[in-house]
């Protein structure tokens, strides 16, 4: 005994690994939103199982971060990712890329399926075939993507995907 405290020993005899990761390798390309909206989007994306998050500057992005605040914002988002992993019990922490432009993303990313969420999309999510490899999912900021961005993604063979008849806010 140590000053009235009993010492207890534990022997770990067996470890049962629980796999909680999605079999889908989804990279979320998310248009930067204002304040807590971006935090909430990142949190829910992590809880739903994305492997990586790439924030991007859309033509309709209302947030203008000065260069000295970009790294602080990225660190804040990494904290949101870690907390979301703890909350939902994920096995692996999704990575967070630096803020990029849509041109940079399309030049650098490889994927087997590219999709952009668009309330006017022609493909319903229920029509999708399983992707054999990495999936790149693009979602715009508040106000959605600009028509020029939708066209740029269409030209890059992205599906204009709709989730259903409702617009998510």
pLDDT mean for each 10 residues of the chain (169 residues): 77 82 94 93 96 95 86 96 95 96 95 93 87 95 93 96 78
The DSSP annotation for 97-149 comes to: PPPEEHHHHHHH---SEEEEE-TT-SEEGGGPPPPSS-EEEEE--TT---HHH
Query: What pLDDT, on the 0 to 100 scale, is given for residue 129?
Result: 86
State the DSSP code for 93: P
pTM for the structure as a whole: 0.86
State the DSSP code for 163: -
User: Rounded distance, CA 28 to CA 51, Å?
Assistant: 8
Nearest to residue 53, comparing CAs of 69, 67, 73? 73
Query: What pLDDT, on the 0 to 100 scale, is given for residue 2?
Result: 60
């Amino acid at each position: 005994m140590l000053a009235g405290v009993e010492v207890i020993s534990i022997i770990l005899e067996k470890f049962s690994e629980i796999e909680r990761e999605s079999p889908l390798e989804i990279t979320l390309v998310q248009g930067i939103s204002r304040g807590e909206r971006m935090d909430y989007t990142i949190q829910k994306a992590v809880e739903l199982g994305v492997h990586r998050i790439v924030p991007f500057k859309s033509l309709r992005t209302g947030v203008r971060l000065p260069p000295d605040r970009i790294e602080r914002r990225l660190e804040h988002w990494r904290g949101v990712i870690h907390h979301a992993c703890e909350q939902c019990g994920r096995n692996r922490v999704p990575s967070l890329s630096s803020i990029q432009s849509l041109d940079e993303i399309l030049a650098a990313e490889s994927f087997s399926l590219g999709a952009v969420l668009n309330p006017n999309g022609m493909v319903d999510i229920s029509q999708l075939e399983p992707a054999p490899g990495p999936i790149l999912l693009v979602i715009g900021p508040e106000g959605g993507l600009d028509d020029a961005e939708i066209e740029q993604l269409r030209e890059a063979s992205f599906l204009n995907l709709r989730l259903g008849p409702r617009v998510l806010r």
